[in-house]
Amino acid sequence: MKKRTYISILTLILLVSGTHAQAAEVKISVPLTFDNYYSYEEAVEALEALHQAFPELTTLDLVGKSEEGRAIYCMTVNNPKTGKELEKPGIYVDGNIHGNEIQATDVALYMLNYILTKYGENKEVTAMVDRNCFYVIPMVNVDGRWHFFNDANDPSSNRGLRRPKDDDRDGLVDEDFPDDLDGDGNITTMRIKDPFGRFKTDPEDPRLMIPVKPGEMGEWTVLGSEGLDNDGDGRVNEDSEGFVDGNRNWGFDWMPEYVQMGAGDYPFSGIGLKAISEYIMQRPNICVAYAMHNTGGMYLRGPSQKHLGEYDPQDIAVYDYLGKQAERMVPGYNYMIGWKDLYGTYGDFVEWMVGSFGVYGYVVELFQSQTETFTTREEEKRAGPGQEGLSALMNENNATARERLKFNDNLAMGELHKPWTSYTHPTYGEIEIGGWVKFSSRLSAPFMIKDLVHRNAMAILFAAKHTPQVSLEAFEVKKLEKDLYRVRARLVNSKAIPTMSTYSQKKNIYPKDMLKVSGKDARVVAGGTLIDKYRDQVVYKDHRPEVQFLTVPGFGIVEYQFLISGKGSVTLDYESRWAGKIIKTVELK
């Protein structure tokens, strides 16, 4: 077994903040640890460390810059000794397309760390890396990640690309953000005592509120997120960062703002998104893509909208094979159809990958709030399933919120929820501030990170095991008469993903695979698909029989027959975007 190497690296990297940059000395070690979330700077350092530790297997490309000038990196993992990257099946993984979805980056980093540190030690990983090429962009919305860590936020804020916008039409842009009134680094909730309010204290846990019943006196009015009237217009928090939603701005099935909120003025108006799209277009070998997101416990396939129509049954079979395996590997996750089982989106990244390049793509929603439990098995059975929802704080019957507070108290030592605290507000007077902090609700507690990132990384690697792997053999060379030979060729794909999706074939996105037969002293007289080798049933091609266009299905076989006039050596040359190149030589004798 290969001994694992532990490397400490001192390296100078560029920490970019807006348009200003400074050199910083960093120390990082490989293997990476996953006991806390990586900030933007730390994630960059981790990529640099992996590249320094495994220079023979990795390249680290600067894909482009963000709206605020931060670097967007892609790490490519490829063993050049086993072939060129564009001649191997490509697996694309990205994360953090929304600024607050930070654990998505950690899944991508974990997968990179795992395959690189296990290479040469684990036979399956070594074979997988030798056969495939991995393209990994751990942070898409680099500005969003930076601001999530460095600014006060709530668990759901700071999602979009940072593009200034006059939300309240007062001639100013982004002048009224939420404010961290108590200086704790979080944006929580403001509430005020009000006998006519719509909420009262939850009798089971005073940190929660429940709606009052008709005719019942209230106790609280919820004022919204923590903040001030910064521009003096009588409204609070009405003009925070103007944004483009990074997952609504891609150039396939895009719709304008009045149809799709967050769409931006036009497709690829996001500076970093445009750079990423150009980077992907230069890598046509990508056959499967995973976009890692934030919360819900889902492996989502398209279509992203009903009007796009259901995928072809042959493609669905591939999605089902990979998606159902992911359900087994990540307990509690559900394999679902985007528009049908969740909601429809326009300008979606994964649908752009499917519609533009014919890849197989998944959106992965990571965190599950129901994993934050503090119950015995008996209590679980009695309670039944808890309710879920974004409005958990104010849901009268939300057993999940109470359960999570017990988790917070006993397993996170109170760090996930801020107690209600009095505050004198310049507009509202005496109020209270409290609720879930930014590193909660959509994020696993730090001690749970490694299980989440490992299981989801393994689901991606299962797909990598099943990228097309084609073998070519001339299983028969038979002389029929003087200088006329029958050559039969067989292409076998031992994996689940075909050499071309049915969607790509129907939409003619790019040419099919090609099988070419040539020889210096030989000429192909006839050639075509061998339907039944025992009855010699062949569908011959009318023109240029020496070139056959084909795809090899997942776990499939295709056979071809050629009648060749001549002598000497004949070359069978197979070429595929996803399955690479194979050359075989046979002798006519």
Residue pLDDT, tens place only, 262-315: 999 999 999 999 999 999 999 999 999 999 999 999 999 999 999 999 999 999
Categorize the per-residue pLDDT at 399 as very low, low, confident or very high, splitting at 50, 70 and 90: confident
Length of the chain: 589
* Dihedral sign computed on CA atoms, order 27, 32, 38, 44: positive
CA distances from 53 to 6, 48, 82 (A): 9, 9, 20
pLDDT interval class at 372 (50, 70, 90): confident
pLDDT value at 6 more than 90: no
Question: 3-state DSSP helix/strand/coil percent for the chain, to nearest 5?
Answer: 25, 30, 40
Q: What is the pLDDT of residue 249?
A: 97
User: Residue 289 has which token pair?
Assistant: 């893509």
What is the per-residue pLDDT for 385? Answer: 52
* pLDDT for 8: 41
Res 159: pLDDT: 93
What local confidence, expressed as pLDDT, does residue 167 receive? 81
What's the first-to-final CA gap in the chain, in angstroms?
A: 46
CA dihedral 419, 422, 428, 434 (to 10 degrees): -10
Quick one: average pLDDT of 183-189? 96
The mean pLDDT of 482-511, rounded to a whole number, is 97
Cβ neighbors of 416 (< 8 A, separation 6 or more) are 404, 407, 408, 436, 437, 439, 440, 441, 445
Structure tokens at 418: 């801020």
Is residue 490 within 8 Å of 472, Cβ to Cβ?
yes
Question: Binning pLDDT at 50, 70 and 90, where does residue 243 land?
Answer: confident
CB atoms within 10 A of CB 514: 13
Digit-coded pLDDT (tens) for 316-352: 999 999 999 999 999 999 999 999 999 999 999 999 9
DSSP calls for 178-232? ---TT-SSB--EEEEE-TTSSEEE-TT-TTSEEEPPTT----EEEEEES---TTS
Q: For residue 182, which phi and psi values (nearest 5 degrees)?
A: -100, 5
| Tokens found for residue 46 | 């981790």
pLDDT tens sequence across 50-73: 999 999 999 999 999 999 999 999
**Is the pLDDT confidence value at 20 over 70?**
no
> Which numeric CATH code is attached to 7-148+246-367+446-462?
3.40.630.10
d(CA 36, CA 248): 29
Task: List the structure tokens of 147.
Answer: 């601001």
Question: What is the rounded CA–CA span in Å between residue 61 and residue 438?
Answer: 31
> In the prediction, which pLDDT does 168 show?
81
**Binning pLDDT at 50, 70 and 90, where does residue 397 land?**
low
CA distances from 268 to 246, 293, 349 (A): 9, 20, 11
Residue 342 region, left (φ>0) first, then alpha (ψ -120 to 50), else beta?
A: alpha
Distances (CA, A) of 72 to 11, 113, 123, 141: 18, 19, 32, 8
Give, for 564, the enclosing helix (H) or strand (E).
Answer: strand 557-566
Would you identify the CATH topology of the domain 470-588? Immunoglobulin-like (2.60.40)
Instruction: Say which range, 108-117, 150-159, 230-239, has the weakest mean pLDDT.
Output: 230-239
- Where are the domains positioned within the chain? 7-148+246-367+446-462, 174-240+389-436, 470-588
What per-residue confidence (pLDDT) applies to 464?
A: 98
pLDDT at residue 3, rounded to an integer: 35
* Strand order across the beta sheet in which 58-65 lies: 58-65, 71-77, 133-137, 90-95, 286-292, 360-365, 298-301, 334-337
Count the Cβ atoms, other than its own, within 10 Å of residue 216: 9
In whole angstroms, what is the distance from residue 112 CA to residue 76 CA? 9
Could you write out the DSSP letters of every residue in 412-459?
STTTTEEEEEEEEETTTEEEEEEEE-SSSSSS--GGGHHHHHHHHHHH
pLDDT over 70 (residue 396): no
Tens of pLDDT, residue by residue over 379-394, are: 777 665 544 433 333 3
pLDDT above 70 covers a percentage of the chain that reads 93
How much is the average pLDDT of 428-445? Answer: 94
Output the CA torsion 350→355→357→361 (10° steps). Answer: 30
Whether residue 26 has pLDDT greater than 70: no
Beta strands in 78-129 (DSSP E): 90-95
| pLDDT surpasses 90 at 11 | no
Q: Report the sign of the C-alpha dihedral through residues 348, 500, 274, 294, in that order.
A: positive
Q: What is the pLDDT of residue 263?
A: 96
Q: What is the mean pLDDT of residues 550-575?
A: 97
Whether the bond between 385 and the residue before it is cis, its omega within 30 degrees of 0, is no
What percentage of the chain has pLDDT greater than the value 90? 83
C-alpha angle 330-332-333 in degrees, rounded to nearest 5? 65
- What's the pLDDT band for 398 if we cut at 50, 70, 90? low
pLDDT attached to residue 431: 97
**Mean pLDDT over the full length of the chain:** 91
pLDDT of residue 384: 58
